Structure 1
Amino acid sequence: MTTTDIPAAGVRDARRPAPGDKRPRRRREGAAWVFLSPWVLGAAVLTLLPMAVSLYLSFTDYDMFNPPQWVGLRNYVQMFTEDPRYWRSVGATLGYVVIAVPLQLALALLIALALKSMKRGKGFYRSAFYAPSLLGASMSVALVWRAVFNDGGTVDNLLSAVGIHTGGWVNRPGWALLAVALLTVWQFGAPMVIFLAGLQQIPAELYEAAAVDGASRWRQFVSVTMPMLSPVLFFNLVLQTIQAFQVFTPAFAVSAGKGGPADSTLFYTLYLYDRGFVASHMGYASAMAWTLLLVIGAVTAVLFRTSRTWVFYADEGDR
């Protein structure tokens, strides 16, 4: 470095920012916004703008072919007081959530416990059990499921062989909902992997201490496994409950888009699709969509509120 590169005493180097100069910080913020711009633009154009339009349409009479006509709260009033099929869709959806979510989480936890104790082949079985979660939401698998539970299908033939004649589950109102719920239960791979990760984080010392105190395997499961696994269980419960409220493909495939028999599989999203895209009542469908959003938000808030009494966080103590 030459003497000309050394600034004179009391003279600030022009290459260094002056104290309090905010320009370098602004440059960093500008660069951050440049990198964030695809996400911000996507969120605004693909999420926030459609939500705002949907909220507006929920107060209009709109058939997708003519300009929307403002009707105020008429869609909501009609939905709650004049549409019996709406309430049947609510009942079918709630029944599905109550049946499918607990069965799916119980099976996922059972398989995760079995995999945790395995010495060999854990990777293979974990992949095999996870595979249905990759395929279960597809229309092709739902159609195969319908054929399996239809009259003369595999399940009907197996039950007939032992003297139980059902006539096909998808053709009976009392059994069709259960058939759709079993398809969701079959897709237990994602919660199973999460449960397995949680089980592997439980310290072995806790089980050793419980065994020294004479605790049986069941007592260890109740007093050690479940409390330590409760945050993971809560996460899976919230996630699967939200997904269950939005189920569409299985019901559409099993009932051929009609929600039958006798509206037993007329799930909320299926009826929303029927009102919006089949009957061209997009304003009414928008009102249904916003109602579903509020209900899911309320259910999630209740789950978070009740979690204070049964979810244990090791770094915070009893909540």
Structure 2
Amino acid sequence: MKKLLFLSVLLIAISASARDKDFHIYLCLGQSNMEGNAKFEPQDTCNISNRFLLMSAVDCPELNRVKGHWYRAVPPLCRCHTGLTPADYFGRTLVNNLPEKIRIGIVHVAIGGCRIELFDKDNYQSYVDSSPEWLKNMVKEYDGNPYARLVEMARLAQKDGVIKGILLHQGESNTGDPDWPDKVKLVYENLLSDLHLKAKNVPLLAGEVVNADQNGKCASMNAIIDTLPRTIPTAHIIPSAGCPAAKDSLHFTAQGYRMLGTRYAIQMLKLLGIDKSDDKNLLDFAYPDANQQKLIRKED
């Protein structure tokens, strides 16, 4: 019995030592704006650092990707035929502003058009059962349970590195739902529990939907999204004001995703103790409006 206990402790110690504390992993989840609606362009597929990696959450033979393996984070990051996401420029911005020894890994699971209820691990099935066929077909790509796939991939990723944060972009399908913050809290706390994480070490970064200044059809949801830190003290809101929207007024353009992803990164860098409020080039890219930059500096 003592030998078995010793071996168990030894295996745990070996596993822990194998993890690279300088490999920072971020979980990304949500609906279509996290999934990536805009087509990526040549500038989005070049000059991507070998320090920015993606763990594929699905098999993509045409991209030579196998589920559960790491690859350089060249878009698409979500599934085989999705587009540019906030995660693309989140990761690119982090590696450009962190020490050379730091690598960034993304675990990405998102379903266009879904409500946050899809990620409720105890009640997701009733939501899926009542969903249209097009959504069911996307869910099938995650073997019918996107939350479980996210956790499965995250556990694999934890063998290699350390989860440092969770990125959420969801809300359009829950527009006007006053219980949305509590539903997000449930998902967040389930992830923390299932992955043995502590909230103080793993902040939640939640992005606003297309803003009213871009005639966003769901812009009213931002008032609810902005209250999330009252329900989750470790949540931080990523503003969408000024991020260009597509003609449907629901999704961002490729430039909008670049800007929004960079804003996610600026917030995460701040949480890591790296203040970029004086980086004019970075702020000019993420917040072209000088008045927005003043607000960011004031918050800092």
Tell me the TM-score normalised to structure 1 length.
0.22
Larger RCO (alpha carbons 8 Å, 6+ apart) = 1
Structure with the largest fraction of helix? 1
Bigger Rg over Cα: 1
